[in-house]
Amino acid sequence: MSLVIVGSLAFDTIETPFAKKERIIGGSCSFSALAASYFSDPKVVAVIGEDFPEAFVELLQRRGVDTRGIKREAGKTFHWEGRYGEDPNQRTTIKTELNVFQDFKAQLLPDYASSDILFLGNIDPDLQEDILKQVHKPRLIAMDTINLWINTKLEALLRVMREVDIFFANDEEVRIIAGELNLIKAGRKLLEKGPSLIVIKKGEHGALLLGKDFLFGTLAYPCENVIDPTGAGDSFAGAFLGYLDKLQEFTPAVFRKAAVYGSVLASFTIEDFSVERLTSLKDEDIDRRFAALQQLVAF
Ligand code: AMP
């Protein structure tokens, strides 16, 4: 079993109606690798600057993450700044400073290039495409993205999309790419663009999985204490793919359970800032929420 995750390791500045946190650990790779680490031992590819704490890389290692693919370059780490309104599903990007990501060219290690599952987490689609050229026929490729790339690099993003099996995106992103407001119709349009499964993340309303002859919905775990929604989507995708890697089976039945695990890991992420809640979960914590979600929709 092997899962490679490509994404950002970042400093995030987050503003919610209740608090502002400056330069806390974030990034698509941080959240997805930690979430995946509860199911598998992911290998990560990312770039960090001189200012990024080695302690976080060591924390990833303690969770079984293979960090040989992290490159430290001269300069500053990627920095993203976002603000949430009263509605945690509404987020505004204030600033994206690419910094060391600007000129980053990933060189995959040989054992990374021959992985079973490749997750092209949210990063510049040109970089995603470059990674695609280096891998030797993974059994499954998935990708994620964010508004910035849809607005600035749509052509490259659509080229990457042609090559992937699973496309993760939130409802707003799916509507924009498809040019269609109805989410089901929009999802079906995206199925024509390459992937065989579209995973539409709907924040506190859960997620919808859409394939040619497949439709599945999972609720979000009902959290009473939402502190910071950042990273929920990445955690969902990390847990989803970590579970697939653990089972090495890519069937609709496995996708359903993977989506519920995705919801569970995302629910922990949003209960605190940064990756705080993802660092020391116990299997029982995860199992309890998985069972609660099962109970919630049993009738
Ligand atoms: P999510 O809340 O799951 O959509 O992911 C939020 C994370 O994505 C934050 O921790 C950011 O550091 C990271 N992020 C935001 N914009 C970008 C971008 N353009 N490229 C790569 N990572 C990003």
Residue 193 tokens read as 């663009």
Q: Is 10 a domain residue?
A: no
Residue 63 lies in a domain: no
pLDDT of 113 > 90? The answer is yes
Does ligand 1 lie within 6 Å of residue 38's CB atom? no
Q: Name the residue of 5, 128, 146 whose CB sits within 8 Å of the most ligand 1 atoms, as the mutation to test its pocket.
A: 146
Answer yes or no: is 6 within a domain.
no
C-alpha of residue 290 to centroid of ligand 1, in Å: 26
Within 10 angstroms of residue 297's Cβ, the number of other Cβ atoms is 11
Rounded Cα–Cα distance for residues 201 and 28 (Å)? 15
pLDDT tens digits along 148-161: 999 999 999 999 99
**C-alpha 7 – ligand 1 centre gap (Å):** 9
Residue 196 lies in a domain: yes
pLDDT-derived band at 88 (thresholds 50, 70, 90) equals: confident
* pLDDT value at 18 more than 90: no
Angle between helices 252-269 and 28-36 (to 10 degrees): 120
Question: Is residue 87 pLDDT above 90, yes or no?
Answer: no
Nearest CA to ligand 1 atom 1: 231
Give a yes or no: residue 95 inside a domain.
no
Distance from residue 161's CA to the centre of ligand 1 (Å): 19
Domain hosting residue 200, numbered range: 28-47+106-297
**Type and span of the H or E element at 284:** helix 283-296
* Strands 117-120 vs 140-143: parallel, antiparallel or unpaired: parallel
Nearby residues of 109 by Cβ (< 8 Å), 6 or more positions away: 68, 69
Q: For the chain, what is the mean pLDDT?
A: 96
| Structural domain total, the chain | 1
Question: Which residue has the least CA distance to atom 20 on ligand 1?
Answer: 123
- Residue 81 belongs to some domain of the structure: no
88: Cβ below 6 Å to ligand 1? no
Q: Tell me: the pLDDT tens digits for 233-277?
A: 999 999 999 999 999 999 999 999 999 999 999 999 999 999 999
Which CATH number goes with the domain that contains 200? 3.40.1190.20
Give a yes or no: residue 275 inside a domain.
Answer: yes
